[in-house]
Amino acid sequence: MAATMKKTVELFYDVVSPYTWFAFEVLCRYQDRWNINLQLKPVFLGGIRKGADNPPPDLVSNRGLYLRKELKLLAKYFHVPLVEPQNTAEMMFVKGTLKTQRFITAVDIMDSTKTEELSRQMWHRNWSRDEDVTEPASLKESGKRAGLSDAQISRGLEDMQSSEVKARLKQFTDEALNHGAFGSPTIIAHTSDGPVMLFGSDRFPILAQVLDEKWEGTVPGESKL
């Protein structure tokens, strides 16, 4: 019997987004269970927001207050060790993650098998341990935790300034915008009827329906939610 063909699912993401961490972990948990070809595509969220004319949600004060309360509930629901940083605004809007996304992109070009764990380590730093994700020492530490060799880390730090890496990050950002993206996470499921875009970390029952798969909760095989 011929092997079942894998369905391609793309995740366009920026580690500045806590909601994207939830979506990222769920997709990683399901990639084998659903037999999907999960393609991780780092983007620059600032570029997507600008291209889609979408202001940050915290600019609406009541919404910002609500989101902070919601994150605590969602962290428990998704089984993700998220702890909000002391100065979220500085982390997201002053420091940003452009350098971070370039480093992830550089590593992705060099060795895509390290992309998943490197991205996860970045989220652990900025959305769990309240640590920097922009300075060379921070990128180096994340690389070590993700299993990169010293040579790979050095090359990643050098390549992140290259035109190739900058072009790749812009390419993925533009791809997301061309799909209709306006934020992160943007999920694209490729079906026989064409690509289907879903936004956010709360669309997984719909994604399961699109892929003709079974939704088993945020932690398949364990969660009853």
Q: What span, in angstroms and rounded, lies between the C-alpha atoms of 189 and 196?
A: 5
Identity at 196, one-letter amino acid code: V
First to last CA, the chain: 34
Domain boundaries, given as residue ranges, for the chain: 7-211
Number of other CB atoms surrounding residue 149 within 10 Å: 12
CA atoms within 13 A on the CB side of 96: 12
Q: Is the pTM of this model over 0.85?
A: yes
222: tokens are: 């364990």
Q: Report residue 13 as tokens.
A: 């993401």
Those residues with Cβ within 8 angstroms of residue 61's Cβ, 6 or more apart along the chain or in another chain: none
CA distance 137 to 134: 8
Q: Tens digit of pLDDT per residue, the chain (225 long)?
A: 455 788 999 999 999 999 999 999 999 999 999 999 999 999 999 999 999 998 876 555 677 788 889 999 999 999 999 999 999 989 998 999 999 999 999 999 999 999 999 999 999 999 999 999 999 999 999 999 999 999 999 999 999 999 999 999 999 999 999 999 999 999 999 999 999 999 999 999 999 999 999 999 999 987 454
Asked if the 7-211 domain carries CATH number 3.40.50.150, the reply is: no
